[in-house]
Amino acid sequence: MGSLESFWNEFSGWLPHVQLAHFLIVSAILFALGIYAIATRRNAIMVLMGVELVLNAANINFIAFSRYSADMNFDGQVAAIFVIILAAAEAAIGLAIVLNIYHRFQTVNVDEVSSLKE
């Protein structure tokens, strides 16, 4: 434990102290990953996974601001609870629609299901 602590003491000069901005940056990168998944993946289930990543990034923001606000109010955490509720509903409905698309078109690739265009 002592060696680990000395190692960490040398290391901590290079890594900055964790503050609000660190959580926000992690959330920003997670959000961009979700955006990339939504934009590029052809499989509809991968698109749903991208949506889940975006919602998780938003939730990190809510809870980080709630923690670092002046009087540690809980409004951000309540908002995060509602986001989780809506994510559950969205996943259920989205999966049902994807299953229906698969039964009708025998594919779940979002770029092949384009019969509304014709």
Partner 1 sequence: MQLFDLVFYVFALITLISGCVVVFSKNIIYSAFSLLFTFFGVAALYVLLHADFLAVTQILIYVGGILVLLLFGVMLTNNVISVDMKTGTIQAIPALIIAAVVAGTLAGLSYSTWRGVGVPAAGGPQTTTGTLGRMLMTSYVIPFEIASVVLLVALIGAAMTARRHRNS
Chain positions 30 to 59 lying near partner 1, rule: CB under 8 A, are: 30-37, 39-43, 45-46, 48-50, 52-53, 56, 59
Using the rule CB under 8 A, which residue among 12, 13, 113, 116 binds partner 1?
12
Residue 6 interacting with partner 1 (CB under 8 A): no
The least CB distance from residue 118 to partner 1, in Å, is 19
Residue 19: Cβ-neighbour burial (10 angstroms; 0-12, 13-18, 19+): exposed
Neighbour tally for 64: CB within 10 Å: 19
Residue 68 interacting with partner 1 (CB under 8 A): yes
> Do 98 and 44 touch, CB atoms closer than 8 A?
yes
Residue 69 interacting with partner 1 (CB under 8 A): yes
Using the rule CB under 8 A, which residue among 3, 10, 17, 118 binds partner 1?
17
Distance CA 95, CA 33 (A): 21
Neighbour tally for 44: CB within 10 Å: 19
Residue 21 interacting with partner 1 (CB under 8 A): yes
Using the rule CB under 8 A, which residue among 70, 115, 116, 118 binds partner 1?
70
Neighbour tally for 80: CB within 10 Å: 20
